[in-house]
Amino acid sequence: MAATASSVQTVPSVRFPMTYSKSFHQWWTSNSSSAAEAQNAVLSLLPFFLGKDDTRSARVNLVSLGGKNRAINELEIARDGEPVERTLVMLHGYGAGLGLFYRNFDALTKVPGTRLYALDLLGMGNSSRPQFQIKSKDPVGKIEEAEAFFIDALEEWRKEKKIDKMILLV
């Protein structure tokens, strides 16, 4: 069956590097479904995502935290049938997402006894975007509030997952 003009989707040409205004427009017009689609497209490159290989399985979870609109998006890769000897937690930098590390997931989880979590920080990737307002007036207080916003969420996530000891990779 021939495609009609109305049923053909065209992909705009993208040239890198983009200008600031074009990249801002692309970010501004994206939505949660496009972010989830992008995450799934990257993670689908893993041989065990949304399925499993001989020893590993991977799944994406949204872990609810206390308070209004607070949830952390995580990728969990487990080695099936093995006791967990080490827990690796990978955190991206500001403005990125858990897919940033996708080329490392396969090699890191080939090590027996390893469970890996890759997290989206609050306000980034597919994690929730809770309201955040700095109340402090002095520069040091502002920094401490911003740090606490992310560190407190990570600690709450760790307790929710019942992780006593972890290796944090940033």
Q: Of 90, 133, 106, 132, whose CA–CA distance to 47 is shortest?
A: 106
Token digits of residue 61: 């979870």
Q: What is the pLDDT of residue 35?
A: 79
What domains, with CATH codes, occur in the chain? 32-169 (3.40.50.1820)
Cα dist from 128 to 54, 115, 138, whole Å: 33, 24, 28
Cα dist from 38 to 18, 95, 125, 169, whole Å: 18, 15, 10, 23
DSSP structural state of residue 65? -
Q: What is the pLDDT of residue 146?
A: 93
| Lowest model confidence (mean pLDDT) among 11-15, 86-90, 127-131, 144-148 | 11-15
Q: What is the pLDDT of residues 143-167, one digit of tens each?
A: 999 999 999 999 999 999 999 999 9
